[in-house]
Amino acid sequence: MTVQEIYTYLDGLSPFALQESWDNSGLLVGDFAQEISQVVLSIDIDEALIESMEENALLITHHPIIFGGLKQLQFNQYPAKILAPMIRKNISNIAMHTNFDQTHLNQYVAQSVLGYPIIAKEGFVAYLGVDEDFATFAAKVKKQFGLEHIRSVQCHTRIQTCALVTGSGASLMRNIEADCFLTGDIKYHDAMEAKSLGLSMIDIGHYESERYFGEILAEHLKNLGLSVIISPSKNPFTYL
């Protein structure tokens, strides 16, 4: 099967046209005419992953390895340090980022990970029906995401509705119409703004909320009859 055939299938599953203007989803490395026998799924790319992959494989990632404009390729620096061995091994890369967030990831996390019904959906934002006191809800979130600690902004004693954006979605908080907002990468000033808005927030982690990418996509790729491997992506952070 060629990269083009797989790309066309992925585009039908989660259209690349849905990606945000600042995003860089699509074919980032490789040739549409390349024949593929193995597909590897991962959130990100690191050197160990490329070393473990066979030649002429396709790597489908959530985060784009090339995000901004490349002005130089210094092979001892990121991302060229990873791109060089990819090119040597003829490994292609397709990124499915903000398009996949909208079509699959947020919905899966809401329903299959947290177990709450989606009562509305607006782009990246999935709204969940909760109706639980804050402490009970926060404890469930902590358990389901496997968080050792939980960072929260509490403005409510009871949560009726909750908004969810996997990854980093704090910039959307002014448009959130819910009691609580679940997202990752919440900064200090985000928390201060949430307090002023009367919006409860719980930080669900960037990696922790997006680590389901591979298992979601693998279910769909089974239909293509390809050998699909889910890479055990590692969280770059270490918690002490």
pLDDT band at 164, cuts 50/70/90?
Answer: very high
Q: pLDDT of 113-129, one tens digit each?
A: 999 999 999 988 999 99
Chain centroid offset of residue 162 CA: 19
Q: Would you mind telling me the total number of residues written for the chain in this entry?
A: 240
Is residue 93 pLDDT above 90, yes or no?
A: yes
- Domains recognised in the chain with CATH numbers: 3-96+211-230 (3.40.1390.30), 101-204 (3.40.1390.30)
pLDDT band at 37, cuts 50/70/90?
Answer: confident
Q: What is the pLDDT of residue 226?
A: 82
Contact 153, 137 (CB under 8 A): no
Is residue 5 pLDDT above 90, yes or no?
A: yes
pLDDT band at 143, cuts 50/70/90?
Answer: very high
Is residue 95 pLDDT above 90, yes or no?
A: yes
Q: What is the pLDDT of residue 161?
A: 98
Q: What is the pLDDT of residue 17?
A: 98
pLDDT band at 70, cuts 50/70/90?
Answer: confident
Across the chain, how many H-helices and E-strands are there? 9, 11
**Per the structure block, which two tokens stand in for 157?**
């004693």
Is residue 240 pLDDT above 80, yes or no?
A: no
Is residue 135 pLDDT above 80, yes or no?
A: yes
| Mean pLDDT for the stretch of residues 118-141 | 96
Contact 139, 146 (CB under 8 A): no
* C-alpha–C-alpha distance, residues 180 and 97, integer Å: 24
Q: What is the pLDDT of residue 68?
A: 80
Contact 23, 97 (CB under 8 A): yes
What is the pTM assigned to this prediction?
A: 0.93
Residue 113 DSSP symbol: I
pLDDT band at 69, cuts 50/70/90?
Answer: confident
**Identity of residue 201:** M
Q: What is the pLDDT of residue 173?
A: 96
pLDDT band at 90, cuts 50/70/90?
Answer: very high
| Residue among 72, 73, 71, 58 at smallest CA distance from 28 | 58
